[in-house]
Amino acid sequence: MDLDFSPVWGGWDALARGTLVTIEITVCALLLGCVLGLLVGIGRLSPQRRWLYAACTAYVTVVRGTPLLVQLFILFFGLPHFGLLLPAFLCGVLGLGVYSGAYVSEIVRGAIQSINQGQTLAAQSLGMTAPTAMRHIILPQAVVRMIPPLGNEFIALIKNSALVSLLTIHDVMHEGQKIISTSYRSLEVYLAIAAVYFALTGTVMLVLRHFERRLSQGGLVR
């Protein structure tokens, strides 16, 4: 079978616009996921506050235990039954962000727990409260250790963003499907879409490796 990429070249402007939408929704979702992950991760380190610990644990358990696609459909198709109709883009950001936040929370929790407890005790012996010690002593060190796994989460988020095309969001996948509907050249278009995602994830991987080398040279990551 001969490959014909002329529909891809003809629709390249649409694919480029879709790629920008993919980047926008992924970045917004990552920011939301990082904020949620930080709050939930710290909340799961406070078992003495039972209500907070239980709520954070329930969030992580439910989100990680259900498919992302189902969560997106609940936001987009389910909420209107309660009179809450959100824009498709917002549903995509919320769905991806909430899903990512559950995984980021485990990254945050693991990074904080990896810091020697002696540093917290030393800070408290100097008169610091637990929140102050967390903010000024523990978190700055933990953030450095979070960077590599957060980069991997960003890569996973880019790939998961392909699902938002099912919410009528005009991302690169949605634009590609529109080209297929008129050209019937599905293989060529899907190969082009795969190349776009590969370029995006490859760029993130290169940037991540650069930061890891810089951190390693500075002795911050061991």
Contact 170, 21 (CB under 8 A): yes
Residue pLDDT, tens place only, 60-89: 999 999 999 999 999 999 999 999 999 999
Within 10 A of 63 (CB to CB), how many other CB atoms are there? 19
Stated pTM of the model: 0.86
**How far is residue 51 CA from its own chain's centroid?**
26
Domain boundaries, the chain: 6-217
Contact 138, 117 (CB under 8 A): no
- Rounded Cα distance, 152 and 49, in Å: 31
Q: At residue 4, what is the residue type?
A: D
Question: Candidates 1.10.3720.10, 1.10.10.10, 3.40.50.970, 1.20.1300.10; correct CATH number of 6-217?
Answer: 1.10.3720.10
Give, to the nearest 10 degrees, the angle between helix 172-183 and helix 186-217.
160
Within 10 A of 103 (CB to CB), how many other CB atoms are there? 20
Residue pLDDT, tens place only, 137-170: 777 778 778 888 888 899 999 999 999 999 989 9
**How far is residue 48 CA from its own chain's centroid?**
29
Residue pLDDT, tens place only, 173-203: 999 999 999 888 899 999 999 999 999 999 9
